[in-house]
Amino acid sequence: MNSINSMNSVRKLKTSIAMILLLLALGIFAPLISPYDPNELNLKERLVYPCVKHPFGTDNFGRDVFSRVLHGARVSLFVAMSVVMLTASIGVGLGIVAGYYGGVVDNVIMRIVDVLLAFPNIILAIVILGIFGPSYLNLVLALAAVWWVSYARMVRSVVLSLKESEFILAVKALGASNFEIMVRHVLPNALSPILPLMTLDLGSAILAISGLGFLGLGLQPPTPEWGVMLRDALPFMETHPYLMVFPGFMIMVSVLAFNMLGDSLRDVLDPRALERKFES
């Protein structure tokens, strides 16, 4: 039974990797694949239904939806990766410091974590963007500012279990500095539970970026971002539904792929989690 579950997990891992590689390829090679400039206006061909010339149709400004969807993969994946990398860097760094030093440092960081966890993340991000205004930089900073707490808590728990272990005490006895211990010995051991969380957060970031773009608080027109495309298509939802179908489908596929990859990585890196999942 365990071997079957393991095979299913590996199969899901391969499928999710293939989906993500396809998305990355679409984003990287979007300028080569796209038949048109994603921001090129052509009012003579506005709101054209999908056809041979325009496989996904055109929007109300005559822009080719297929080209905009491809460039949307480029934009959404880049912004999502920026958010997750910054989020993980902040959370992992503070989590290691809190767990390793303990005392007042730990109390201060964990109280900040508790306060941020008391509010919905997306609401805090909306408040931050409402104050500072929508832009690429503000979007990345707003999401990172509210998402780092889960990384800090997870890494702190790992560090607490490691810092009194024999190999850490041996390294201390050899005269290693605190910084060297945290970077060379503690950090590598914290990566195992962090990698699945980062992968899952990539899907969450794409969803949040699209949602904020739809609300007008994320990236702004004419940026070919999927959430912005959904907002632009809203007035034409009944008469030209394809304008919402294609970017919505890309959001769904992207989130599904990263969620599958995160779940598979967790099963591969922690086989006990896989056993618990099938026992429950």
Q: Where are the domains of the chain?
A: 12-38+53-273
Return the minimum-mean-pLDDT range out of 113-122, 124-133, 183-192, 204-213.
Answer: 183-192
pLDDT in tens, 52-86: 999 999 999 999 999 999 999 999 999 999 999 99
Q: How confident is the model at residue 156 (pLDDT cuts 50, 70, 90)?
A: very high
Topology of domain 12-38+53-273, per CATH? MetI-like fold (1.10.3720)
Query: For the whole model, what pTM was predicted?
Result: 0.88
Q: How confident is the model at residue 88 (pLDDT cuts 50, 70, 90)?
A: very high
Is the pLDDT at 5 greater than 80, yes or no?
no
Is the pLDDT at 268 greater than 80, yes or no?
no
Is the pLDDT at 1 greater than 50, yes or no?
no
Region 110-129: mean pLDDT is 92
**Residue bearing the bigger pLDDT, 192 or 279:** 192
Can you tell me the distance from the alpha carbon of 210 to that of 124, in angstroms, rounded to the nearest whole number?
Answer: 16
**Residue bearing the bigger pLDDT, 273 or 195:** 195
In the chain, the percentage of residues whose pLDDT exceeds 90 is 70
pLDDT of residue 82: 96
Q: How confident is the model at residue 7 (pLDDT cuts 50, 70, 90)?
A: low
Is the pLDDT at 271 greater than 80, yes or no?
no
Long-range contacts of 21-26 (CB under 8 A, 24+ apart): 23/73, 23/77, 23/253, 23/254, 23/257, 24/77, 26/70, 26/73, 26/74
Work out the number of other CB atoms within 10 angstroms of the CB of residue 11. 11
Under 8 Å CB-to-CB from 206, ≥6 apart: which residues? 76, 77, 80, 251, 254, 255, 258
Region 29-37: mean pLDDT is 94
pLDDT of residue 278: 40
pLDDT of residue 162: 85
pLDDT in tens, 173-228: 888 888 888 888 888 888 888 988 999 999 999 999 999 999 999 999 999 999 99
pLDDT of residue 65: 96
Mean of all residue pLDDT scores within the chain: 89
Work out the number of other CB atoms within 10 angstroms of the CB of residue 94. 23
pLDDT of residue 164: 78
26 alpha-carbon distance from chain centroid:
17
